Amino acid sequence: MSIKTGLIGSYPRPVNLAKVFSRYNSKKIDKEKLNQEIRRYTEKFFSLVKEVNVEYFTDGLLRWDDLIDLTFSYLKSPTKDGLIRFYDNNFYYRRPVISSKLEKDDSQLLEAIKEDLELLKKLEIGGTLKAVVVGPITYATLSENKYYNDFQKLLEDYSKILNEVLSDLQSYVNAVEIHEPGFFDKNVKRDLIERANEYYEIIGKGLKIEKHLISYFDIQVDRLKEYFNLPVDVYGVDVIENRKKLGKVYPFFKDKNVYLGVLDTRNTKMESITTIKRFISSSNESGAKDIIIGNASLMDFIPEIVAVRKIKLLNKVVSKDGKRA
């Protein structure tokens, strides 16, 4: 068994970068200036990744307003609606409105990945950059569907597009995060969960890219079997939010590669290294193969200064006498 560090999803958008976006939206600066600033702050985030020696990481999603906004970088047809609350959080996203058949256009996403790779080369950063996409259940349930009479057809079309997007991405990166917090959403019907394997078979067909399935927030214990049967390479669990349910979760870790969300990103309180090590030990005893530890969910919910302090804890957990174990 190996223990690695990782960061999932978004990094808090720095205050000064948020001001740049505000100036751009007010037409006070042009797109070129906006992109220049995004690259500058992404480079700063990558410098933190290098400092802490994170082994799996995203680019912080600083280009996108929220996780769902990212989908507009690889989908052509949907439009943006008003702000909607993102699950049980004081955070909002712009709901996609589906008024026609879903179509792929991943030019923005691929361009972003290419820019990320240039920055990583410049900074001489190793590790694995992960692309990020939204899972089919989460996307379908967080969107407003005005086109598909058959909801299953919407899920199938989206899954096929994800397969094509990941096929394009694997020419540049070796791993992708598929964010699927909707899998455990109590408002999602059971029959949709039971068919999830079909969609993930479509997504992964013919691909070699490493697929990390990322879920966060509350877990529905009666869905764990379906979750851990999905055809992916790494299974993510928010252990902070579900620490009272872990006795039911750990048995599913046997012979699986798991991502443990050990850093609470909905609370500014700092974690105990002892507690994190206990999560790792219990996962190991449960038969987990390889373990990645990192943030439990998106980091949009906490200030940047807190996120930095929490991220630096990761290196302390996996280090021995100041050196990586």
pLDDT digits (tens, 9 = 90+) for 149-207: 999 999 999 999 999 999 999 999 999 999 999 999 999 999 999 999 999 999 999 99
* Per-residue confidence (pLDDT) for residue 320, from 0 to 100: 57
Question: How many structural domains compose the chain?
Answer: 1
Is residue 324 very low, low, confident or very high in pLDDT (cuts 50, 70, 90)? Answer: low
CA dist 106 and 12 (Å) reads 24
Is residue 66 predicted with pLDDT exceeding 90?
yes
The whole domain housing 313 covers: 3-324
Instruction: Give residue-wise pLDDT tens across range 213-234.
Output: 999 999 999 999 999 999 999 9
* Per-residue confidence (pLDDT) for residue 32, from 0 to 100: 95
* Per-residue confidence (pLDDT) for residue 319, from 0 to 100: 79
CA dist 35 and 62 (Å) reads 10
Q: What is the mean pLDDT of residues 278-282?
A: 97
Q: What is the pTM of this model?
A: 0.96
* Per-residue confidence (pLDDT) for residue 216, from 0 to 100: 96
Instruction: Give residue-wise pLDDT tens across range 17-27.
Output: 999 999 999 99
In 125-187, beta strands by DSSP E: 128-134, 144-145, 175-179
| CATH code of 94's domain | 3.20.20.210
CA dist 258 and 147 (Å) reads 37
Is residue 308 predicted with pLDDT exceeding 60?
yes
